[in-house]
């Protein structure tokens, strides 16, 4: 094998390795698994009957080191916040009353460093509706 062939093989291998994205690559350098979720995310929601976009701000929950606060989750206003539990590349929102008679539950999964896939349910007044949303930074 000549030198040019060896260099071509090495270069091809390096290109292949650089195209792989490991789960660890989505983890923050600081060691706090919540860091990658922080900031303002644009949620584009469905079903088609209610398809809308709105911003959700995710911040640390100062009362719990494994939780985040999601302000405006479900598009109820920034004065309303749900809490979520962070595990690896996921946020789990346990069923909780965000204001009188209105509950939310669901989960989001980080697919890339600037996109999450969400499924959640909003219940109020005896009605329940399921949503799917893509959140982008």
Encode pLDDT of 61-111 as tens digits.
999 999 999 999 999 999 999 999 999 999 999 999 998 999 999 999 999
Quote the pLDDT of residue 52: 87
**pLDDT tens by residue, 110-126:** 999 999 999 999 999 88
Residue 5 has pLDDT above 90, yes or no: no
Residue 41 burial (C-beta neighbours within 10 Å; 0-12, 13-18, 19+)? buried
pLDDT at 33 over 90: yes
How far is residue 43's CA from residue 55's CA, in Å, rounded to a whole number? 6
Q: How high is the pLDDT of residue 47?
A: 67
pLDDT at 29: 55
What's the pLDDT at 1? 57
- Mind listing the domains of the chain with CATH numbers? 23-136 (2.40.128)
| Torsion angle, alpha carbons of 64, 79, 75, 129, to 10 | 70
Q: What angle do CA 116, 135, 121 make, to 5 degrees?
A: 90
pLDDT, tens digit, 9 for 90 and up, residues 41-55: 999 988 665 668 999
Give the pLDDT band of residue 14 (cuts 50, 70, 90): very low
């Amino acid at each position: 094998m000549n030198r040019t062939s060896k260099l071509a093989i090495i270069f091809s291998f390096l290109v292949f390795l650089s195209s792989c994205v490991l789960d660890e690559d989505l983890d923050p350098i600081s060691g706090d698994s919540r860091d990658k979720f922080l900031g303002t995310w644009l949620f584009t929601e469905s079903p088609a009957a209610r398809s809308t976009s709105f911003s959700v701000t995710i911040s640390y929950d100062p009362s719990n080191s494994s939780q985040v606060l999601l302000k405006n989750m479900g598009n109820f206003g920034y004065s309303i916040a749900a809490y979520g539990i962070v595990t690896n590349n996921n946020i789990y929102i346990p069923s909780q009353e965000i204001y009188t008679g209105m509950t939310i539950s669901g989960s989001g999964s980080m697919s890339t460093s600037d996109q999450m896939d969400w499924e959640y349910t909003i219940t109020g007044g005896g009605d329940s509706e399921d949503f799917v949303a893509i959140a982008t930074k």
